[in-house]
Amino acid sequence: MKKYDVVALGELLIDFTENGKSNQGNPLFEANPGGAPCNVLAMLTKLGHKTAFIGKVGEDFFGEQLRDAITEVGIDAKGLCTDKEIHTTLAMVHTYPDGDRDFSFYRNPGADMMLNKEEICEDIIKDIIKDTKIFHFGTLSMTHEGVREATKEAIRIAEESGAIVSFDPNLRPPLWNSLDEAKEQVLYGLKHCHILKISDNEIQWLTGEEDYTAGVNWIRERYQIPLILVSMGKEGSRAYYNGTMVEVKPFLQKNTIETTGAGDTFCGCVLHYICEHGMEGLEEENLKEMLTFANAAASVITTRKGALRVMPTRDEIQNLQKN
């Protein structure tokens, strides 16, 4: 039996999210713990799964805050390294009236991109990767050479240990030297995953296809990925599996305030379903059940500020489904 259900590697950072204005009319920012891989793990932990995170923060106040935050929500932090020289990565999140957002990163460099292959090869981290059913990663840990090597080594260990590999590109164009380089690393991810979660705009950018099914076919012609999920924001989501496509409408809420973490929450719920049911022989009704639960969870998180600390419970998700 593997010790962990899901282990994720990647960025852990502070999301400064707008939270009103001061008496002088200046914007106020709240320092929320963030980073897509840990958001995914926080959702899984909330649903009762054993999870662990691999990444790097600075030896500073924010690094301590992040270590405390992930430990507090129940994510194993043994694989969280500390950099003595480089500060914890920060992101300023600007939220638009419809809840969509824009990011400005303070990461030149940031501690998350200082994770290296030697650290992955140390027994403590290697053993975490070997001991998981599912290994999850994105491309923020592939933007620079050192951390890219670390990510690829972790994928290699996961594959060797028979883990299901899950990938969410989570493209952030400002963090790449060029989008051609980003594309190259996304294609590496596609080559090594069993589960792909990709957003509507990412699949259009990657494949050049406006139509999502045409985009999935473009990917499938090149890579053997059993389960592909396309998250479509206000349009809901789709699952492509074994020649079947299932689409489920979203749960739109009047009280949506921001979309930070919605895709990660969705991804966490998909991995939860795979932890419980496995990857084999999924029928149309399974895919529908999986997407409906994941859409509902993503909808709940859009009504809250931040994501990692405020993931919905199973009851909250099911109540939204009923209503």
Condensed to tens digits (0 to 9), the pLDDT of residues 223-279 reads: 999 999 999 999 999 999 999 999 999 999 889 888 889 999 999 999 999 999 999
The CA distance from 229 to 73, in Å, is: 26
Paired sense of beta strands 237-241 and 101-106, if any: unpaired
In 10 A of CB 19, how many CB atoms?
14
The answer to whether 176 and 143 are in contact (CB under 8 A) is yes
Residue 44 has pLDDT above 90, yes or no: yes
Q: Is the peptide bond before 169 cis (omega within 30 degrees of 0)?
A: no
pLDDT, tens digit, 9 for 90 and up, residues 174-199: 999 999 999 999 999 999 999 999 99
Mean pLDDT for the stretch of residues 110-129: 98
- The pLDDT > 90 percentage for the chain reads 91
The answer to whether 228 and 215 are in contact (CB under 8 A) is no
Residue holding tokens 């599912």? 134
The CA distance from 283 to 68, in Å, is: 40
Partnered with residue 275 across adjacent β-strands are none
The answer to whether 66 and 88 are in contact (CB under 8 A) is yes
Residue 99 has pLDDT above 70, yes or no: no
Confidence category of residue 203, pLDDT binned at 50, 70, 90: very high
Decide: residue 22, CB within 10 A, 0-12 exposed, 13-18 middle, 19+ buried: exposed
At 258 the pLDDT is 85
At 101 the pLDDT is 73
Residue 16 has pLDDT above 70, yes or no: yes
Nearest 5°: the CA angle 75, 297, 159 is 50
At 112 the pLDDT is 98
Q: CB neighbours of 161 closer than 8 A, spacing ≥ 6?
A: 129, 130, 131, 132
* E strand map for the chain: 4-9, 13-21, 27-34, 51-58, 76-83, 90-95, 101-106, 132-138, 164-168, 195-199, 227-231, 237-241, 244-248
Q: Which two tokens stand for residue 165?
A: 């590999």
Mean pLDDT for the stretch of residues 102-115: 94
The CA distance from 45 to 6, in Å, is: 9
Which phi and psi (to 5°) does residue 190 adopt? -60, -35
Mean pLDDT of the chain: 96
Q: Is the peptide bond before 109 cis (omega within 30 degrees of 0)?
A: yes
Q: CB neighbours of 2 closer than 8 A, spacing ≥ 6?
A: 131, 132, 133
pTM for the model stands at 0.97
Task: Tell me if residue 260 falls in helix, strand or coil.
Answer: coil
Confidence category of residue 19, pLDDT binned at 50, 70, 90: confident
pLDDT, tens digit, 9 for 90 and up, residues 272-303: 999 999 999 999 999 999 999 999 999 999 99
